[in-house]
């Protein structure tokens, strides 16, 4: 079977797919190492698994909370790895427990929340759970929202009993969000750039809050343990109410602030509010977000994060040294933006598998054949984004993005990105489920 898949162009892999062929394809990719998720001794995942000098100075050996939650969710949803997901969540909780002063000092008003280095850190050393010293855009409510959401999901599904829940950390998180007024807090969000009031960040927080509320409303033992552990139901309800109103006031845009440096009509991060978070609520609003991404951001090699994105813009490796490419640009994005040639934003590989999952879930819920076709189409695009034998990486690797270098589109240095792998894994599993019906 490996010879069969390896001898066929990737573009033909899903032309006449059925559940058996998708399962065989996944087995082939596993054999190639495409879906490997190396974990630390604590069960956390580095953002990427690259090699070479340029990669080593990129910082992608570090652990990001957001990426870990996305990876752990994928392993749980697509591979039934509940133990790995629980371990990941609890290790993240232990990191925040060790560094709880970040929450405590902002709640008490003794630390300035406007300084992102005072915020709970969302990027750290996954080997020993220590903070990293370099300046970083740690104001990222989306990452904390994913952590709360997945913790709640695992508990609802019975994988985290009341006695194992990190109630102390969750209680501090709710107080922290109340203090900074998360529903109108300017954060750096998914892309770690200019701080703004972002729908994608508020939506992640809301997803976490509503999952926690569902858990506590449906499980008396959980409610008693939560209240004993410092989780305030009144604060939880306040945050839910404010975040829901704020989110609906911004969507389908990412940011509606008047400052042109912050205002953003289109951003592919909004897709995550549909999958995996399922928090948008209104089908028409979901349709608008999907249509925006497909008409405004979709390219031949992947999907742009947003119009005007200068990260890995054309000839990025010639314009910036290896140690400059992934530094914190949140306070000086204009300098990088000047490098961008219009229309040559990097095209990312994390979004097509997410769109495939979105259409796959719609097919499961409604049985519309058109949704299945869109699921297949985006899954096929995801496969076409894998590296090939003639590039500088081993074949069948999942890049972070494709970028233009001297007129040719190639994978960027962050290859393979485990977040891309996680999304592809989910897309293939959901496709196998639907084709097996």
* Phi, psi dihedral angles at 272 (to 5 degrees): -70, -20
Q: Between the CA of residue 173 and those of 107, 176, 323, what are the distances in Å? A: 10, 5, 33
User: How does the average pLDDT of the chain come out, rounded?
Assistant: 95
Q: How confident is the model at residue 14 (pLDDT cuts 50, 70, 90)?
A: confident
Q: What is the dihedral of CA 267, 269, 274, 279, to 10 degrees?
A: -100
What percent of the chain clears pLDDT 70, i.e. is strictly above it? 99
Look at the chain and count its residues: 437
Could you list the beta-strand ranges (E) of 242-381: 347-348
| Mean pLDDT, residues 2-13 taken together | 68
CATH fold, domain 2-7+25-435, is: Glycosyltransferase (1.50.10)
* Phi, psi dihedral angles at 411 (to 5 degrees): -70, 145
Task: Identify the DSSP state of 166.
Answer: -
Burial 322-355 (b: 16+ CB within 10 A, else e): eeebbebbbeebeebbeebeeebbbbbbbbbbbb
3-state secondary structure of 380: helix
Structural contact between residues 365 and 283, judged by C-beta atoms closer than 8 angstroms: no
For 251-312, where are the alpha helices, taking DSSP H only?
A: 283-296
Q: How confident is the model at residue 4 (pLDDT cuts 50, 70, 90)?
A: low
Does the structure show a pLDDT above 70 at 417? yes
pLDDT, position 3: 37
Burial 163-175 (b: 16+ CB within 10 A, else e): eebbbbbbbbbbb
At 330-385, the pLDDT tens digits run 888 998 999 999 999 999 999 999 999 999 999 999 999 999 999 999 999 999 99
> Which tokens in the block code for residue 179?
């203090």
């Amino acid at each position: 079977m490996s010879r069969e898949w390896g001898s066929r162009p990737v573009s033909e892999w899903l032309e006449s797919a059925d559940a058996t062929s998708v399962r065989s394809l996944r087995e082939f990719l596993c054999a190639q190492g495409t879906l490997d998720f190396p974990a630390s001794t604590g069960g956390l995942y580095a953002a990427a698994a690259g090699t070479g000098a340029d990669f080593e100075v990129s910082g992608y050996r570090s652990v990001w909370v957001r990426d870990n939650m996305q990876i752990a969710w994928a392993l749980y949803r697509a591979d039934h790895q509940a133990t790995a997901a629980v371990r990941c969540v609890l290790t993240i909780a232990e990191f925040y427990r060790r560094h709880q002063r970040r929450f405590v000092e902002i709640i008490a008003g003794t630390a300035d929340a406007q300084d992102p280095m005072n915020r709970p850190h969302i990027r750290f050393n996954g080997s020993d759970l220590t903070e990293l010293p370099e300046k970083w855009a740690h104001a990222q409510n989306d990452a904390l929202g994913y952590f709360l959401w997945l913790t709640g999901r695992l508990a609802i599904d019975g994988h985290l009993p009341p006695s194992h829940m990190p109630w102390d950390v969750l209680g501090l998180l709710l107080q922290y969000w109340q203090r900074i007024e998360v529903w109108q807090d300017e954060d750096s969000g998914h892309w770690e750039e200019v701080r703004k009031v972002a729908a994608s960040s508020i939506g992640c927080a809301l997803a976490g809050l509503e999952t926690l509320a569902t858990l506590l409303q449906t499980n008396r033992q959980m409610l008693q343990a939560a209240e004993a552990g410092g989780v305030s139901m009144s604060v939880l309800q306040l945050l839910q109410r404010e975040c829901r109103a704020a989110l609906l006031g911004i969507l389908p845009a990412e940011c509606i602030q008047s400052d042109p440096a912050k205002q953003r009509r289109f951003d592919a991060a909004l897709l995550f509010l549909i999958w995996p978070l399922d928090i948008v609520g209104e089908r028409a609003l979901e349709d608008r977000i999907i249509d925006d991404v497909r008409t405004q951001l979709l390219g031949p090699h992947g999907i742009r994060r947003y119009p005007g994105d200068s990260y890995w813009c054309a000839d990025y490796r010639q314009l910036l040294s290896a140690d400059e490419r992934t530094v914190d640009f949140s306070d000086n994005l204009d300098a990088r933006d000047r490098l961008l040639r219009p229309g040559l934003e990097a095209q990312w590989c994390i979004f097509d598998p997410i769109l495939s999952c979105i259409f796959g879930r719609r097919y499961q819920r409604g049985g519309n054949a058109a949704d299945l076709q869109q699921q297949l189409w985006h899954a096929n695009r995801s496969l076409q984004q894998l590296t090939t034998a003639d590039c500088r990486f081993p074949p069948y690797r999942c890049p972070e993005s494709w970028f233009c270098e001297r007129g040719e589109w190639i994978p960027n240095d962050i290859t393979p990105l485990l977040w891309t792998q996680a999304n592809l894994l989910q897309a293939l599993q959901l496709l196998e489920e639907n084709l097996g019906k």
